[in-house]
């Protein structure tokens, strides 16, 4: 029989590679490879999750009304303009399905989130990479890549895996200088961690323009990565389109209930933000003292570069840490082969990785 041939572009996709979770032969692993919450889910969210265990035979609310209303209250938004997805990834895919096709182009920055080129090729569009400046999104470089075929521009702000961000002024400048008919997607997965005064999560930009969408996730500061909850804030016309495309019952009952509880537990959110504000600079400074290059980050992780160490490579550091039960994230797939991304974990985990890297450097 003749084998089936997938649509053009599908076989050009490099499958997404997630952070490692296990080390053979080591039972208790310090996992700093996936930017998960250091403090985990709140007790209230766990309680809400457990409370629905006797209703597993029932379908969830297909419109996630209670969760959308809770998000609206938390951020002062109209729930009718909020779309929930199975992770923000589902929103990215549906935005591409709706607004890009074969022959179109989707722009993202050189070290942007690896899902963007996958999303582009899934719909037959061409992913277009714009260069960065000092591992930071460059507005002018992106604008120079715009053509009549450009349909979507993605920005992760803050960016994964670099931890860098652009200011509110730059974000607005990019939207202003993009043609009005180009969809601008602001991925704010790490927005809750940012404390800089010149940062914007993109909400006000959505309100000020017709073709801008902001996305967020419950996988990071809310500690609900296992439940896959994402949401987007959109102009009414785009919200209508996404509601037509999203899968029915795309958020489970447990996800919706735990999500509402997580939003309402503001003390836990604050504790997670404060924890990061202490241990992000602590680990950054400690590793700089070892002679490592630590790129500035406003998220819950750091990007550590090993090229300044004579005779020691990031792969050596990765293997050394893994031998001692610590998992970090290789960034070769992001075009950063001499770096590791390290999540800010609990206090003991942060100190453990600092100690082991100190030993690695001194060997």
Each residue's pLDDT tens digit, 264-291 = 999 999 999 999 999 999 999 999 999 9
Q: How many residues does the chain have?
A: 363
- From the CA atom positions of the chain, what is the Rg in Å? 21
Q: H-helix or E-strand containing 105?
A: strand 105-109
CA separation for the pair 79, 95 (Å, rounded): 19
Backbone angles phi, psi at 309, to 5 degrees: -85, 120
Tens of pLDDT along 126-161? 999 999 999 999 999 999 999 999 999 999 999 999
| Mode of pairing for the β-strands spanning 183-187 and 339-343 | unpaired
Burial readout 93-129 (b: 16 or more C-beta within 10 A, e: otherwise): bbbbebbbeeebbbbbbbbbbbbbbbbbbbbbbbbbb
- Decide: helix, strand or coil at residue 151: strand
Residue 256 structure tokens = 């919706």
Q: What is the pTM of this model?
A: 0.95
Checking if the pLDDT of 53 tops 90, the result is yes
CA separation for the pair 178, 80 (Å, rounded): 26
What is the model's pLDDT at position 14?
85
Checking if the pLDDT of 196 tops 90, the result is yes
pLDDT, greater one: 311 or 117: 117
Q: Which domains does the chain have, with CATH numbers?
A: 10-31+267-362 (3.90.1150.10), 43-265 (3.40.640.10)
């Amino acid at each position: 029989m003749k084998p089936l041939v997938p649509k053009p572009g599908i076989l050009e996709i490099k499958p997404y590679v997630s952070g490692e979770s296990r080390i053979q032969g080591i039972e208790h692993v310090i996992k700093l490879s996936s930017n998960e919450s250091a403090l985990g889910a709140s007790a209230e969210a766990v309680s809400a999750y457990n409370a629905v265990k006797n209703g597993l035979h029932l379908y969830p609310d297909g419109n996630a009304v209670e969760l959308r209303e809770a998000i609206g209250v938390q951020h002062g938004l109209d729930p009718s303009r909020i779309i929930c997805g199975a992770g923000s990834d589902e929103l990215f895919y549906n935005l591409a399905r709706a607004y890009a096709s074969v022959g179109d182009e989707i722009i993202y920055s050189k070290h942007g989130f690896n899902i963007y080129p996958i999303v582009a090729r899934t719909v037959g569009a061409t992913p277009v990479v714009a260069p960065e400046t000092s591992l930071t999104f460059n507005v002018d470089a992106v604008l120079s890549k715009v053509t009549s075929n450009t349909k979507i521009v993605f920005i992760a702000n803050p960016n994964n895996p670099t931890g860098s961000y652009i200011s509110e002024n730059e974000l607005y400048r990019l939207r202003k200088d993009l043609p009005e008919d180009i969809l601008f997607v602001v991925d704010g997965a790490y927005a809750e961690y940012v404390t800089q005064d010149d940062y914007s999560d993109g909400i006000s930009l959505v309100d000020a323009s017709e073709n801008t969408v902001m996305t967020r996730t419950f996988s990071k500061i809310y500690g609900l990565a296992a439940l896959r909850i994402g949401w987007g804030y959109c102009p009414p016309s785009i919200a209508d389109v996404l509601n037509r495309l999203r899968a029915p019952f795309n958020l489970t009952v447990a996800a919706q209930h735990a999500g509402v509880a997580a939003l309402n537990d503001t003390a836990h959110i604050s504790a997670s933000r404060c924890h990061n504000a202490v241990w992000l600079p602590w680990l950054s400074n400690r590793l700089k003292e070892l002679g490592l290059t630590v790129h500035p980050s406003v998220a819950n992780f750091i990007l550590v570069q090993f090229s300044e160490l004579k005779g020691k490579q990031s792969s050596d550091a990765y293997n050394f840490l893994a031998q001692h039960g610590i998992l970090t994230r290789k960034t070769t797939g992001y075009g950063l082969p001499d770096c590791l991304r390290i999540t800010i974990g609990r206090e003991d985990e942060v100190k453990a990785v600092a100690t082991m890297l100190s030993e690695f450097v001194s060997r």
